[in-house]
Amino acid sequence: MNEDIREVGNALIEGATKAWDHLVQQIDEMLGWSPVPGSVPGLRRPSAMADGELRTALRAVASRLITGIDPPSQASFPVDDDARWRFNLPATPRPHLQQMFIEASDSFGLAVAGLDHHASAADLALVGRLAEILARARWLIEPSDAGQRRERGYALTERAIADLRRAGERAETVAHEDQAGDDQAGLAGEIADRAATMEARLVELRQEDGLAAVPVPKRRKLVQTYLPGSEAELFALLSAAGPRPAVAPSALFYREAGTGDALFNFERLHVVRAYWLARATALYAGVCVAAGPALERADWTEHVARAESGLRPLAAETGRRYRQRLQRGLHPGL
């Protein structure tokens, strides 16, 4: 029985390792990156760094990236939606990518600050959000044809409208069960009316543009297809970075293997924090690569490439140490 657990655990670890390698390789191929020969002057080899030093070095790489990208500056690059669409939800590819970039920037900034100052498993949900944004952005820009991209933009809008409609239905149910006042009941009705209006207008735009209605792939399919390889879903299942974190991953990876002592706020777990900093940085870089051309931000390429040159050797060493920790955690006491 114990041998079976070890074999399954080793297979999961190998899958997560491949997912990381594929992610870095995909970004490399997009930008034409190649490993930087030699070491950075004044910086010790990652293999000679203590865990805390690795975390500090990765924190510096992440900070330089988001400082160089400068998300607030995107406000000076207005992205207009189709004039026929008068609602706040984005409808066409550029506004969708703008919104994805804004959300990714918020998630990345919070993840970096959290993992640095008051790290906890809750911060990993932000890394999961980055992964989902990147998968959707890659799906949106996959076709080179402008019409097909617009079809996918409309599909994302339709998905958002459906989510809004469900929120209205839940509000209506709660109002009915709690016998709420007219204000809450009225809000549920307003949400339903607005969702119906937007849905009807979106159908009209599709007909006017001669475009087909295409479905947005389910999250599992998006992650498997647009994040590295079939092991990408394994990454979400292995960690608390999925959208529905469970107790088991935290108990497995964020407790002392020998004593079972819970390490609140990732106490002493510098390599764990460094690993997720590296993950978050690579995912955010991927979002910038995906959104940059459509948002006319050619300047992002240089900042992302500079970040990768510092990220690659640090991430490789951090990943090696993190895998060792996983192997120590997958013990017969599971």
For residues 225 and 134, what is the distance between their CA atoms, to the nearest angstrom?
11
Q: How confident is the model at residue 177 (pLDDT cuts 50, 70, 90)?
A: low
The tokens for 261 are 């002592």
Of the candidates 316, 130, 116, the one whose C-alpha atom is nearest the C-alpha of residue 235 is: 130
Half-sphere exposure of residue 256: CA atoms within 13 angstroms, side-chain side = 9
Q: Which residues contact 320 (CB under 8 A, 6 or more apart)?
A: none
Residue 251 pLDDT > 70, yes or no?
Answer: no
pLDDT value at residue 192: 85
Residue 22: pLDDT band with limits 50, 70, 90: low
Paired strand residues for 262:
255
Give yes or no for residue 303 having a pLDDT over 90: yes
Mean pLDDT of 279-289: 94
pLDDT at 71: 92
Taking phi first (over 0 means left), then psi (-120 to 50 degrees means alpha), and beta for anything else, what does residue 320 get?
A: alpha
Residue partners of 293: CB distance under 8 A and separation at least 6? none
Residue 10: the pLDDT is: 54
Return d(Cα 102, Cα 109) in angstroms, integer.
11
Instruction: Look at residue 277 and give its three-state secondary structure.
Output: helix
CA distances from 210 to 18, 22, 67, 85, 145 (A): 42, 38, 42, 16, 14
Mean pLDDT, range 124-140, rounded to an integer? 90
Q: Of the given ranges (10-19, 45-54, 59-68), which has the lowest mean pLDDT?
A: 10-19
Mean of the per-residue pLDDT values of the chain: 78
Predicted local distance difference test score (pLDDT) of residue 31: 41
Q: What is the mean pLDDT of residues 266-291?
A: 88
Domain ranges of the chain: 2-81+92-143+217-329
Residue 66 has pLDDT above 90, yes or no: yes
Q: Is 23 exposed, middle or buried (0-12, 13-18, 19+ CB in 10 A)?
A: buried
Q: What is the pLDDT of residue 196?
A: 92
- Running DSSP on this structure, what letter comes out for residue 122? G
Q: Could you report how far apart the first and last alpha carbons of the chain are, in Å? A: 11
Q: Say whether pLDDT at 317 is over 50.
A: yes
The residue written with tokens 């140490």 in the block is 321
Nearest C-alpha neighbor of 73 from the set 309, 297, 240 = 297
Number of other CB atoms surrounding residue 43 within 10 Å: 14
- Percent of the chain at pLDDT exceeding 90: 43
Q: What is the structure's pLDDT at 104?
A: 96
- Residue 78's closest CA among 290, 300, 296? 296
- The answer to whether 73 and 135 are in contact (CB under 8 A) is no
Greatest mean pLDDT range, 177-186, 263-272, 320-329: 320-329
- Write the pLDDT tens digit of every residue in 206-247: 999 999 999 999 887 887 788 764 454 455 444 556 655 544
From the number of C-beta atoms within 10 Å of its C-beta (0-12, 13-18, 19+), residue 205 rates as middle
Query: Residue 266 pLDDT more than 50?
Result: yes
Instruction: Band the pLDDT of 305: cuts 50, 70, 90.
Output: very high
pLDDT tens, position by position, 85-131: 999 899 999 999 999 999 999 999 999 998 887 666 677 788 888 98
Tell whether the model's pLDDT for residue 158 goes beyond 90: yes
pLDDT band, very low/low/confident/very high, at 137 (cuts 50, 70, 90)? very high
Q: In the 8-state DSSP scheme, what is residue 80?
A: -
- The whole-number average pLDDT for the span 183-211 is 87
